[in-house]
Structure 1
Amino acid sequence: MNCDFDQIIDRNKTSCVKWDFNQRIFGREDILPLWVADMDFQAPQAVVEALVNRAQHGIYGYSNSMDGYYEALIDWMKNRHDWLIEREWITFSPGIVPALNELVRSLTKAGDKIILQSPVYPPFFQAIKNHGREVVNNQLRLENGRYTMDFTDLEEKFASGVKMMILCSPHNPVGRVWDRDELDRLGQLCLAYDVLVISDEIHGDLIFEGYRHIPFASLSSDLAQQSIVCTAPSKTFNLAGLQTSNLIIPNPKYRQAFLASLDLTGIHNPNVFGITALEVAYQQGAEWLNQLMHYLEGNVEFLMSFLARELPQIGLIKPEGTYLVWLDFRSLGLEPKDLHKFLVHKAGVGLNAGYLFGPGGEGFARLNLGCSRAVLEEGLRRIKTAVQELA
C-alpha cells in the first residue's frame, strides 16, 4: 500500500474550518490556510471503507463502545508506546479541549493555581481562566534553537502551592518530544509537591525518527496515580471532525470525579462513526502512519532547505514531533499583531499568530505542514515575496 500524500484534495464547500471560513477568520477569502491542526490528507483507506460501510447500514441510533474499541486502544498503546493500560482506565470525551475544561472544573477549586508552559496551545489558558483558576506560567527556555524546561523556576512555582499542571507532550507549538530524563525530573517534582499532571498527548503518535514519545503515566506506578493522559486518533489519522477522544485515568478517585462532571453536562457516549473510525484506525492504520511520518519528514527537510536558500531572515525551530512548526520572524522587527497582519494581508497566508500562545510567542508564528509539498511551497513563496517587499 503506497499512500499518495502529494495529491491535492479540494476541501472547499465541505464545511471545513480550515478552508471554508477564511473570510470570517482572516478577513480575506484568498488566504492560503496553513494554520489549524488538521491535515489535508485523506484518512487511511481502511477507515474510509469502514465508515462508508457503517453509513450504508442506514440506522444511526444511540451508540456506545464495544469490546473492539477498547481492545484497539489498549493494543495500540502497548505496541506503539510500550504502555500497558487497563480497560477500566479509559474514559471518553468528545475532544481534548472539553476534557481539559472538565478536568479543571472537577479536580480543582476556584482560585487554585495551575501551571502551564508557554508558548503553548492557547486553549490551555482558557481552560484555566474559564473556571476561575489562576494561570501560573513556567515559560520554556529557548537555547541554541531548542526549547527546554526551566526546572528551577518550575520548582519555585510548585512550592507556591500549585495544584495542577497541564503538560503538552509532545509540545505544541515548539515541537519538543520530551525525553525520559526530562519527564523523570518533572515527575519527581510533581510527586514531591503533590501536583496532579494533565498530560495532553494528542500528538504522541506523530514522532520523527530518532525520538520516542513516552506517556507520562507510564513512568512509574506512583506517577500513574498522579496523572491523567489525554489521547485521541484525531491528529494521528486526521479524524478530528469525528470528535472521539479518550482520557486514560488510572486513579479511580480522579476518574470518578471526571465522570461525574461529564454527567452534569449530559455527555455520555461517542458517536457511531467515531467508534468505527477509532477501532479501524488503531487496528489497521500503522503502515499509513509510518508513510505519513516519512512524508512529513520530507516536508520538514523541504522547509529547512527553502528557508536557508530563499528566506534566511526566518528561523525554524526544528520539530521532533507533530506536523506543526514554529517559525521565528523576530528578525523582521515587527510588533506581534503587525506580524500577523503582515502574513495575512501582505503574504496572503493564514498562520497561527505566535503571541496567542502566551509569553515567549511574540515574533513567532505556527505553520501546519500537514499538506502536500506543492501547497507548502506555494505558502513559502508567498511569504518570500512579502518579505522581499519589506526591504
Structure 2
Amino acid sequence: MNWNDCIERTNTHSVKWSYADEEVIPMCIADMDFQVSPAIIDAMKKKAAHGIYGYTTFCKGYDAAIIDWWQRRHQCRLEKEWIAFSPGIIPGMNLLLQIFTKPGDKVIVQEPVYYPFYSSIENNECEIVKNTLIYREGRYEIDFADLEKKAADPLAKVLILCSPHNPVGRVWTYEELKKVGDICIKHDVWMISDEMHGDIVYQGHRHLPLFNIDPAFRTRSVICAAPSKTFNIAGLQTSIILIPNKELREKYEQKLYQYGMMRPNVFGVEATIAAYNDGEAWLEDLLGYLEGNLQYVENYLHQNMSDVTYHKPEGTHLIWLGFEKLGMEGNALWEFFLEKAKVKLDEGFKFGESGRTFLRMNIACPRERIDTALRRMQEAILHFRIEQHRKKEEVSK
C-alpha cells in the first residue's frame, strides 16, 4: 500500500473536502485520506457487478467476521445474540438514551469529548453532567472522586465512556476501566462505551473492551463499535452495537423497528465481512505509517513550534494540540489557522469548555500533506508574533 499517495478527494462529495476555498487543507473530521484495503475494494466491485442492490439483511458470515475479529484482536468473546445494528454509533446512542432515560435525567460525559455526545443527550432532553478529565504532567486522567460524586446523584442514569478517548487519545488501562465500572455499578448507572477507535492503538498500549474488565459489567453496559474508523468505510453506515443484556437488547431492537432502521446498507455488509476477514495485514501496515506520522508531527513541533502543546495519543489517528501560549481561544483560534494558514482543524471548544485553547488534527493522510499543513501553521504563528511585537513597540513609543 502506498500511504504517501495523495489521492484527489475534491469533487467526490466528501464532507471533509467540501470546503469552498480549495486552497484550504482539511486536517479535520475523523476519516482517512487513504484508499481502503484491496480486499474491501474487491468485495465492493463484486457486489457492484452483481447489479442488484435491493433490501439487504445480515448473514452468518457477517456475524462470524465480527466475532472472529474481536476474539483475534481483543481476546473478547462475543455471542452472536449480542450483535445489534445501527447505521452509525450516534444514531444507536440516541436510541439507547431513549431507553435508559426520561426528560430531566442526567448523563455523564468525560470532557473534553467527542461533541455529538452532547447533542445526543440534549436530543433526549437530558442534562449534561461533565466529569472533566484532569491534565496532569502531560497526560489526561479520570477524576474518580468527581465521577463518584456525580454518579451518586439519583438522576444520573448513564455514563458515556469514550474508549480510546477522542480527542485526547488516551487508551484507558485495566485499573482505570475497573474503577469506572465499579463506580457505575455501585450507583446503578448504565455505561455506553464508545469503542469506535479501539483498533487504532499504538505500540506499548492495548485496547481493553469494557466487557473484558469484569463479567458484571456486561449486564449494565453496551459497547458501540464499527469497522468505520479502522478501515475508512464510515460512508457505508454499518455500525455494531453489542448488547449482552437480553431485556435491553429486545428494547433496542424495538426502537430500530420503530424508526425503520433495521436494514443495513447493501455494500456495508460486504465491506464489514471483507475488512474483518481479510483486512488485518492492511491495518498493521496502516498503524506503522500512522506511528511515523505521529513522530513526524512531534519532531516538527519540537523543532519549530515549541510553544504548541503536543499530546501524543496512545490511540486514534487524532492529535489534541494546545495553543494556550498564542493568547487566542474558541472560534478566534480556529479561524486564525483557517484564514491565515489555510489549514482547517477541528474546533477544540466543540469538545467542551476545557478545549477552548485546543484544536484537533487528523494525521491519517500522506506525510507530505502533514508537512505542508505544519509549515503553513508555523508561518502563520511567526507572522502573528511579528505583528504582536510591532504593536508593542508602537505602544511603547
TM-score tier by shorter-chain length is: over 0.9
* Residue 314, structure 1, aligned to residue 308, structure 2: yes
Corresponding residue number in structure 1 for 2:19: 22
Alignment-mate amino acid for residue 39 of structure 1: M
Listed one character per residue, the Cα deviations across residues 46-91 of structure 1 (whole Å, up to 9, x for unaligned) are 1101100110000111111100000000000000000000000000
Native 8 Å contact 2:37 2:231 kept in 1 = yes
Native 8 Å contact 1:107 1:257 kept in 2 = no
Question: Which of 87, 94, 97 is the aligned partner of 1:94?
Answer: 87
* Residue 332, structure 1, aligned to residue 326, structure 2: yes
* Residue 283, structure 1, aligned to residue 283, structure 2: no
Corresponding residue number in structure 1 for 2:100: 107
Native 8 Å contact 2:329 2:358 kept in 1 = no
Native 8 Å contact 1:120 1:173 kept in 2 = yes
Native 8 Å contact 1:22 1:30 kept in 2 = no
CA distance in 2, matches of 1:341, 1:272: 39
Native 8 Å contact 2:74 2:207 kept in 1 = yes
Gaps of 5+ in 1: none
CA distance in 2, matches of 1:112, 1:351: 33
Corresponding residue number in structure 1 for 2:389: none
Alignment-mate amino acid for residue 140 of structure 1: L
Report how many residues are paired: 384
Alignment-mate amino acid for residue 292 of structure 1: L
CA distance in 2, matches of 1:234, 1:253: 28
CA distance in 2, matches of 1:372, 1:227: 37
Q: CA deviation at 1:335?
A: 2.9
CA distance in 1, matches of 2:222, 2:91: 14
CA distance in 2, matches of 1:373, 1:29: 19
Q: Aligned with 1:135: secondary structure?
A: strand
1:1-391 matched pairs, under 5 angstroms: 3-19=1-17, 21-23=18-20, 28-161=21-154, 162-391=156-385
Runs of 4+ displaced beyond 2 Å: none
Alignment-mate amino acid for residue 80 of structure 2: R
TM-score normalized by structure 2? 0.96
Q: Which piece of structure 1 moves more, 281-290 or 98-107?
A: 98-107
Bigger-Rg structure (1/2): 2
CA distance in 1, matches of 2:202, 2:192: 24
Q: CA deviation at 1:336?
A: 1.6
Gaps of 5+ in 2: 386-397
Listed one character per residue, the Cα deviations across residues 116-156 of structure 1 (whole Å, up to 9, x for unaligned) are 01000000000000110111000001111110000000000
Q: CA deviation at 1:110?
A: 1.0
CA distance in 1, matches of 2:307, 2:111: 24
Q: CA deviation at 1:29?
A: 3.6
Q: CA deviation at 1:353?
A: 0.8
Alignment-mate amino acid for residue 8 of structure 1: C
CA RMSD of aligned residues (A): 0.8
Corresponding residue number in structure 1 for 2:390: none
